[in-house]
Amino acid sequence: MLSVPIAVTTADVDALLPQTQCQRCSYADCHAYADAIASGDAEINRCPPGGDATRRGLSALLERKDDGGLTLANDVDAYAPEHVALIDEAACIGCAACLPVCPTDAIIGASKRMHTVIKDECTGCELCIIACPVDCIALVPVVTPANRVHATLDERASQVEMLKRSYDAHKTRFFARGEAKAEAHAPKVMPDKKALLAAILAKAKART
Ligand code: SF4
Ligand code: SF4
Ligand code: SF4
Protein backbone atom coordinates (compact mmCIF):
# COMPACT_ATOMS: atom_id res chain seq x y z
CA MET A 1 0.00 0.00 0.00
CA LEU A 2 1.22 3.52 -0.85
CA SER A 3 1.30 6.19 1.77
CA VAL A 4 -1.50 8.75 1.50
CA PRO A 5 -0.26 11.71 3.53
CA ILE A 6 -3.67 13.22 4.11
CA ALA A 7 -7.18 11.81 4.17
CA VAL A 8 -8.98 12.28 0.87
CA THR A 9 -12.25 10.86 -0.32
CA THR A 10 -12.90 8.93 -3.50
CA ALA A 11 -15.13 11.82 -4.62
CA ASP A 12 -12.28 14.34 -4.10
CA VAL A 13 -10.01 12.27 -6.32
CA ASP A 14 -12.69 11.40 -8.89
CA ALA A 15 -13.40 15.10 -9.40
CA LEU A 16 -9.87 15.53 -10.79
CA LEU A 17 -10.09 12.66 -13.27
CA PRO A 18 -11.17 13.29 -16.88
CA GLN A 19 -14.05 10.76 -16.86
CA THR A 20 -12.91 9.25 -20.14
CA GLN A 21 -13.47 5.78 -18.56
CA CYS A 22 -10.77 4.30 -20.82
CA GLN A 23 -9.40 1.76 -18.29
CA ARG A 24 -5.76 2.54 -19.14
CA CYS A 25 -5.08 2.99 -15.43
CA SER A 26 -5.90 -0.77 -15.11
CA TYR A 27 -9.10 -0.05 -13.21
CA ALA A 28 -12.66 -0.60 -14.41
CA ASP A 29 -13.41 3.12 -14.63
CA CYS A 30 -12.38 6.51 -13.28
CA HIS A 31 -14.31 5.99 -10.03
CA ALA A 32 -12.54 2.68 -9.34
CA TYR A 33 -9.15 4.30 -9.90
CA ALA A 34 -10.15 7.21 -7.67
CA ASP A 35 -11.09 4.73 -4.97
CA ALA A 36 -7.70 2.99 -5.26
CA ILE A 37 -5.84 6.32 -4.97
CA ALA A 38 -7.90 7.41 -1.96
CA SER A 39 -7.20 4.06 -0.31
CA GLY A 40 -3.47 4.32 -0.99
CA ASP A 41 -3.55 1.33 -3.36
CA ALA A 42 -2.57 3.19 -6.56
CA GLU A 43 -0.11 5.88 -7.66
CA ILE A 44 -1.46 9.11 -9.09
CA ASN A 45 0.32 8.81 -12.44
CA ARG A 46 -1.77 6.22 -14.27
CA CYS A 47 -4.21 8.39 -16.24
CA PRO A 48 -3.04 9.33 -19.75
CA PRO A 49 -6.19 11.25 -20.76
CA GLY A 50 -5.91 13.32 -17.59
CA GLY A 51 -2.48 14.54 -18.64
CA ASP A 52 -0.39 16.97 -16.61
CA ALA A 53 -3.46 18.81 -15.30
CA THR A 54 -4.78 15.71 -13.52
CA ARG A 55 -1.38 14.67 -12.16
CA ARG A 56 -0.67 18.16 -10.85
CA GLY A 57 -4.15 18.35 -9.34
CA LEU A 58 -3.81 14.98 -7.60
CA SER A 59 -0.33 15.84 -6.33
CA ALA A 60 -1.70 19.06 -4.81
CA LEU A 61 -4.75 17.30 -3.36
CA LEU A 62 -2.56 14.72 -1.64
CA GLU A 63 -0.04 17.38 -0.62
CA ARG A 64 2.73 15.40 -2.20
CA LYS A 65 6.16 16.84 -1.55
CA ASP A 66 7.94 14.66 -4.11
CA ASP A 67 7.45 14.79 -7.87
CA GLY A 68 7.20 11.01 -8.26
CA GLY A 69 3.60 11.16 -9.36
CA LEU A 70 4.10 13.78 -12.03
CA THR A 71 5.47 11.55 -14.76
CA LEU A 72 3.11 9.11 -16.46
CA ALA A 73 3.75 5.53 -15.32
CA ASN A 74 5.63 3.64 -18.00
CA ASP A 75 3.43 0.54 -17.89
CA VAL A 76 0.33 2.49 -18.98
CA ASP A 77 -0.83 2.22 -22.62
CA ALA A 78 -0.55 5.30 -24.81
CA TYR A 79 -3.65 7.39 -25.46
CA ALA A 80 -4.21 9.22 -28.74
CA PRO A 81 -5.68 12.60 -27.80
CA GLU A 82 -8.27 14.21 -30.05
CA HIS A 83 -9.03 11.07 -32.04
CA VAL A 84 -12.35 9.32 -32.57
CA ALA A 85 -13.34 5.82 -33.61
CA LEU A 86 -14.42 5.22 -37.19
CA ILE A 87 -16.21 2.00 -38.14
CA ASP A 88 -15.59 0.48 -41.55
CA GLU A 89 -19.26 -0.10 -42.17
CA ALA A 90 -18.64 -2.46 -45.09
CA ALA A 91 -16.67 -4.76 -42.81
CA CYS A 92 -18.94 -4.51 -39.74
CA ILE A 93 -20.80 -7.79 -39.12
CA GLY A 94 -23.33 -6.19 -36.77
CA CYS A 95 -22.36 -8.35 -33.80
CA ALA A 96 -23.01 -5.48 -31.35
CA ALA A 97 -19.97 -6.40 -29.22
CA CYS A 98 -18.94 -2.73 -29.25
CA LEU A 99 -22.17 -1.41 -27.72
CA PRO A 100 -21.88 -2.44 -24.05
CA VAL A 101 -18.24 -1.35 -23.78
CA CYS A 102 -18.70 2.22 -25.05
CA PRO A 103 -18.77 4.46 -21.96
CA THR A 104 -20.57 7.30 -23.72
CA ASP A 105 -22.98 5.23 -25.83
CA ALA A 106 -21.41 6.84 -28.89
CA ILE A 107 -22.12 3.84 -31.11
CA ILE A 108 -25.47 3.27 -32.74
CA GLY A 109 -26.64 0.11 -34.43
CA ALA A 110 -28.70 -2.97 -33.74
CA SER A 111 -27.85 -6.63 -33.80
CA LYS A 112 -27.02 -7.79 -37.34
CA ARG A 113 -27.03 -4.20 -38.63
CA MET A 114 -24.00 -2.10 -39.43
CA HIS A 115 -22.86 0.14 -36.62
CA THR A 116 -21.66 3.71 -36.69
CA VAL A 117 -20.00 6.16 -34.28
CA ILE A 118 -21.50 9.50 -33.28
CA LYS A 119 -18.23 11.38 -33.39
CA ASP A 120 -19.24 14.27 -31.12
CA GLU A 121 -19.76 11.78 -28.28
CA CYS A 122 -16.63 9.71 -28.86
CA THR A 123 -13.61 10.17 -26.62
CA GLY A 124 -11.36 7.87 -28.63
CA CYS A 125 -11.00 5.57 -25.63
CA GLU A 126 -10.49 2.55 -27.95
CA LEU A 127 -12.56 0.13 -25.86
CA CYS A 128 -14.70 -0.65 -28.93
CA ILE A 129 -11.56 -1.37 -30.96
CA ILE A 130 -10.46 -3.92 -28.38
CA ALA A 131 -13.93 -5.50 -28.33
CA CYS A 132 -14.49 -5.72 -32.11
CA PRO A 133 -13.87 -9.29 -33.30
CA VAL A 134 -13.26 -8.33 -36.94
CA ASP A 135 -11.00 -5.31 -36.38
CA CYS A 136 -13.19 -3.00 -38.42
CA ILE A 137 -12.75 0.05 -36.15
CA ALA A 138 -9.86 2.49 -36.42
CA LEU A 139 -8.94 5.78 -34.77
CA VAL A 140 -8.92 8.94 -36.87
CA PRO A 141 -7.88 12.45 -35.79
CA VAL A 142 -10.98 14.55 -35.15
CA VAL A 143 -11.47 17.10 -32.35
CA THR A 144 -14.87 16.85 -30.65
CA PRO A 145 -16.48 18.22 -27.47
CA ALA A 146 -15.83 14.81 -25.88
CA ASN A 147 -12.13 14.53 -26.66
CA ARG A 148 -10.82 18.11 -26.90
CA VAL A 149 -7.67 18.52 -24.80
CA HIS A 150 -7.81 21.31 -22.21
CA ALA A 151 -4.76 22.70 -20.44
CA THR A 152 -6.36 23.18 -17.03
CA LEU A 153 -8.93 21.44 -14.87
CA ASP A 154 -11.13 24.54 -14.93
CA GLU A 155 -11.22 24.59 -18.73
CA ARG A 156 -12.03 20.87 -18.71
CA ALA A 157 -14.86 21.10 -16.18
CA SER A 158 -17.82 21.16 -18.59
CA GLN A 159 -16.40 18.28 -20.64
CA VAL A 160 -15.91 16.25 -17.45
CA GLU A 161 -19.51 16.86 -16.44
CA MET A 162 -20.76 15.83 -19.87
CA LEU A 163 -18.72 12.60 -19.89
CA LYS A 164 -19.80 11.72 -16.37
CA ARG A 165 -23.46 12.21 -17.29
CA SER A 166 -23.03 10.03 -20.38
CA TYR A 167 -21.32 7.28 -18.39
CA ASP A 168 -23.97 7.33 -15.65
CA ALA A 169 -26.66 7.04 -18.34
CA HIS A 170 -24.73 4.23 -20.03
CA LYS A 171 -24.45 2.25 -16.80
CA THR A 172 -28.13 2.74 -16.03
CA ARG A 173 -29.19 1.77 -19.53
CA PHE A 174 -27.04 -1.32 -19.93
CA PHE A 175 -26.96 -2.66 -16.41
CA ALA A 176 -30.69 -2.11 -15.89
CA ARG A 177 -31.48 -4.03 -19.07
CA GLY A 178 -28.98 -6.71 -18.17
CA GLU A 179 -27.27 -6.30 -21.53
CA ALA A 180 -23.85 -5.64 -20.09
CA LYS A 181 -22.26 -8.07 -17.75
CA ALA A 182 -19.87 -6.80 -15.11
CA GLU A 183 -17.02 -8.15 -17.27
CA ALA A 184 -17.77 -5.53 -19.90
CA HIS A 185 -16.52 -2.96 -17.47
CA ALA A 186 -13.67 -4.94 -16.01
CA PRO A 187 -10.19 -3.63 -16.79
CA LYS A 188 -9.49 -4.26 -20.44
CA VAL A 189 -7.71 -7.36 -21.63
CA MET A 190 -6.97 -8.27 -25.21
CA PRO A 191 -9.76 -10.68 -26.17
CA ASP A 192 -9.15 -13.83 -28.15
CA LYS A 193 -10.75 -12.36 -31.27
CA LYS A 194 -10.73 -15.61 -33.24
CA ALA A 195 -12.61 -17.37 -30.43
CA LEU A 196 -14.99 -14.42 -30.07
CA LEU A 197 -15.74 -14.42 -33.80
CA ALA A 198 -16.22 -18.21 -33.84
CA ALA A 199 -18.70 -17.91 -30.96
CA ILE A 200 -20.61 -15.10 -32.71
CA LEU A 201 -20.78 -17.05 -35.98
CA ALA A 202 -21.87 -20.21 -34.16
CA LYS A 203 -24.63 -18.29 -32.41
CA ALA A 204 -25.78 -16.75 -35.70
CA LYS A 205 -25.79 -20.21 -37.35
CA ALA A 206 -27.81 -21.69 -34.50
CA ARG A 207 -30.40 -18.93 -34.91
CA THR A 208 -30.89 -19.54 -38.66
S1 SF4 B 1 -6.97 6.13 -17.21
FE2 SF4 B 1 -9.01 6.27 -18.12
S3 SF4 B 1 -10.34 5.13 -16.65
FE4 SF4 B 1 -8.43 5.54 -15.62
S5 SF4 B 1 -8.79 7.44 -14.52
FE6 SF4 B 1 -7.92 8.02 -16.49
S7 SF4 B 1 -9.64 8.36 -17.85
FE8 SF4 B 1 -10.40 7.27 -16.06
S1 SF4 C 1 -16.98 4.82 -29.86
FE2 SF4 C 1 -15.28 3.54 -29.19
S3 SF4 C 1 -13.58 4.97 -28.93
FE4 SF4 C 1 -15.46 6.19 -29.02
S5 SF4 C 1 -16.06 6.46 -26.86
FE6 SF4 C 1 -17.13 4.65 -27.65
S7 SF4 C 1 -15.81 2.91 -27.11
FE8 SF4 C 1 -14.59 4.78 -26.92
S1 SF4 D 1 -17.91 -4.90 -32.68
FE2 SF4 D 1 -17.17 -4.44 -34.77
S3 SF4 D 1 -18.26 -5.88 -36.08
FE4 SF4 D 1 -19.34 -5.87 -34.12
S5 SF4 D 1 -20.97 -4.32 -34.42
FE6 SF4 D 1 -19.23 -3.27 -33.49
S7 SF4 D 1 -18.09 -2.45 -35.27
FE8 SF4 D 1 -19.47 -3.99 -36.06
pLDDT tens-digit profile of 121-137? 999 999 999 999 999 99
Residue 157: inside a domain:
no
Point out the ligand nearest to the CA of residue 156: 1
Mean pLDDT in residue range 105-125: 92
Answer yes or no: do 14 and 110 share one domain.
no
Residue 154: inside a domain:
no
Residue 36: inside a domain:
yes
Point out the ligand nearest to the CA of residue 101: 2
- Write down the pTM of the prediction: 0.88
- Distance in Å, CA 65 to ligand 2 centroid: 36
Answer yes or no: do 61 and 126 share one domain.
no
Q: Looking at residue 184, what is its pLDDT?
A: 52
Q: Structural domain tally of the chain? A: 2
pLDDT tens-digit profile of 191-203? 666 676 677 667 6
Answer yes or no: do 42 and 127 share one domain.
no
User: 99 in ligand 2 pocket by Cβ < 6 Å?
Assistant: no
Q: Which of 13, 26, 29 to mutate to test the pocket of ligand 1 (most atoms within 8 A of CB)?
A: 29
Residue 157 pLDDT > 70: yes
Answer yes or no: do 32 and 99 share one domain.
no
Answer yes or no: do 201 and 122 share one domain.
yes
Range of the domain at 17: 10-70
Answer yes or no: do 119 and 196 share one domain.
yes
pLDDT tens-digit profile of 29-67? 999 999 999 999 999 999 999 999 999 999 999 998 877
Answer yes or no: do 200 and 116 share one domain.
yes
pLDDT tens-digit profile of 71-107? 999 999 999 999 999 999 999 999 999 999 999 999 9
Residue 49's domain is classified under what CATH number? 1.10.15.40
Q: Looking at residue 200, what is its pLDDT?
A: 64
Minimal-distance CA residue to ligand 3 atom 2: 132
Answer yes or no: do 134 and 203 share one domain.
yes
Residue 200: inside a domain:
yes
User: 126 in ligand 1 pocket by Cβ < 6 Å?
Assistant: no
User: 45 in ligand 1 pocket by Cβ < 6 Å?
Assistant: no
The Cβ of residue 171 has, within 10 Å, a number of other Cβ atoms equal to 15
Residue 27 pLDDT > 90: yes
Q: Which of 12, 14, 43, 47 to mutate to test the pocket of ligand 1 (most atoms within 8 A of CB)?
A: 47
pLDDT tens-digit profile of 133-155? 999 999 999 999 999 999 999 99
CA contacts within 13 A on the Cβ side of 174? 22
